Chain A
Amino acid sequence: TQLLEQSPQFLSIQEGENLTVYCNSSSVFSSLQWYRQEPGEGPVLLVTVVTGGEVKKLKRLTFQFGDARKDSSLHITAAQPGDTGLYLCAGAPGDDKIIFGKGTRLHILP
C-alpha cells in the first residue's frame, strides 16, 4: 500500500514567519499535487510537480519535488492569515487514482 506521510499535522505560527510542510513516501509517484482546503469547501489545486527535483513557485509558496519523486515540500515565506487552511499533498502512483496524505492544518496568527 502506498502511503503519503505529511508533517507536521498541525502548525500554528505568527504572521510573517516562514514555514515548511513535508510530504514523504517510500514509493515513487509519477506526480505530486498540493491542494489547499478551507472548511466546508472542496480542495483547490495549488500546483502539480512532475519532474524529479522540480521547483515551482506560486507567489510566496515554493514547492519542490524530490529527486527520486518520493517526497515533496511546501515552503511558505512571510506567512499571512490568508494562508490558514488544510494543506493536502496527493500523489499519483501511475493509475487513474490519487492518494492523499492526512494533511497539515496550518493556522497563521495575526
Chain B
Amino acid sequence: GAVVSQHPSRVICKSGTSVKIECRSLDFQATTMFWYRQFPKQSLMLMATSNEGSKATYEQGVEKDKFLINHASLTLSTLTVTSAHPEDSSFYICSAGTGSSDTQYFGPGTRLTVL
C-alpha cells in the first residue's frame, strides 16, 4: 500500500513553455501532498505544500506564480512550471502522507530538462 505515482517521468521542453507534472496517490487519499525539488547530488528541498480544496502553501523563495499547484482531488496534485527556463531544470518529486502518521511516501520523480 501507500503508492504514489508521478507523470511524466521525464520531460524535455523548450525555454518559455509550460510543463505540467502530475502526482497521484494510487491506493489512499491524501489531503496534503508535498512538492520537492532536488538538484544533482543534493538533498530534497521542499517547494510547497499542496492542500486539497485550498491554495498551496509555498516555502520562502519559491515563486508561486511560476510554480502553479493545483490539488483538485484527494488523489491528485499537479505542479505546472510556467515559462520554464534552463535554470528550472531539475528533479521534481512529490510525496503524500496517509494521515495516520508522519511518514510520507514519495513518487518516483520527474526529470525536467529545459533547453
Partner-B contacts on A (CB < 8 A): 30-31, 33, 35, 40-45, 48, 50, 88, 90, 92, 96-103, 105
In-complex Cβ contact of A43 among B41, B44, B111 (8 A) = B44
Assuming the A-B contacts A88-B43, A100-B43, are A41 and B108 also in contact, with contact meaning beta carbons closer than 8 angstroms in the complex? yes
Partner-A contacts on B (CB < 8 A): 4, 6, 32, 34, 41-44, 46, 49, 91, 93, 95, 97, 101-109, 111
In-complex Cβ contact of B97 among A88, A96, A100 (8 A) = A96
Shortest Cβ distance from residue B34 to the other chain A in the assembled complex, whole angstroms = 7
Assuming the A-B contacts A97-B34, A97-B49, are A48 and B106 also in contact, with contact meaning beta carbons closer than 8 angstroms in the complex? no
A44–B106 CB distance below 8 A: yes
Cα distance A101–B109 in the bound complex, in angstroms: 19
- Work out how many contacts link A and B, with CB atoms closer than 8 A: 56
Residues of B within 8 A of A48 (CB): 101-103
Cα distance A105–B95 in the bound complex, in angstroms: 21
B108–A96 CB distance below 8 A: no
Known A-B contacts: A33-B102, A100-B46. Give 6 more (CB < 8 A).
A33-B104, A35-B106, A45-B105, A48-B102, A97-B49, A100-B44
Cα distance A100–B44 in the bound complex, in angstroms: 7
Shortest Cβ distance from residue A34 to the other chain B in the assembled complex, whole angstroms = 11
Residues of A within 8 A of B44 (CB): 43, 88, 100
8 A-B residue pairs with CB within 8 Å: A31-B102, A33-B104, A35-B106, A41-B109, A45-B103, A48-B101, A48-B103, A99-B46
